[in-house]
Amino acid sequence: MKINFLFRKPKFPFLLINGDEIYAVKSLKRLAIIIQTHDFTKNESYDIIDYDNEGWIYLPEYNMISPLTVKKSWRKKELVSLINSSKTLKDKNFEPLKPTVLNKSFKEIFNIIVYILTG
C-alpha cells in the first residue's frame, strides 16, 4: 500500500486519531498496517498530530496525508484529554494521565502517550 504525502511528511512518531481510537505511528510500514486493519471509511478526513505538534490530516479517499488542516497545533491539555477519553487507553488497561502531567513539555507528554500506545 502506497501512502501519498502532500508537500512533505509529518515528523515521526505521530498519532492518528480515528474517533475514540488513537494509533501511534512510528513508520510508514506501521501506518500501512493500521490503515489496512482498521475502518477509515466513516469520515472524509482523520486528524494526525506529529511529534513537532503540527496538525495534519489523513484523507482515506486519496490515501494521502496533508498538512492542510484547520487544526494546526494542539495544546497539552487537549492532547491529555484526547488520550484520557480514548477507547484505546481503556483497551490497554492504562489509568488516565493525571493532571500533573501538564507540568511536562509537549514532547514529554507525547512520548508518554506513544509509549502507552506501543508498549
Residues 26-55 pLDDT 10s? 999 999 999 999 999 999 999 999 999 999
pLDDT above 80: residue 57 = yes
Is residue 62 classed as helix, strand or coil in its secondary structure? coil
User: CA–CA separation, 53 vs 10, rounded Å?
Assistant: 10
Q: For the whole model, what pTM was predicted?
A: 0.93
pLDDT value at residue 34: 96
Total domains present in the chain: 1
User: CA–CA separation, 58 vs 69, rounded Å?
Assistant: 10
pLDDT value at residue 27: 95
Beta pairing class for 14-18 and 21-25: antiparallel
Q: Within a 10 A sphere around the Cβ of 19, how many other Cβ atoms?
A: 11
Range of 41's domain?
4-118
One-letter amino acid for residue 112 of the chain: I
| Mean pLDDT value across the chain | 94
Residue whose C-alpha cell is 486519531: 17
pLDDT above 90: residue 2 = no
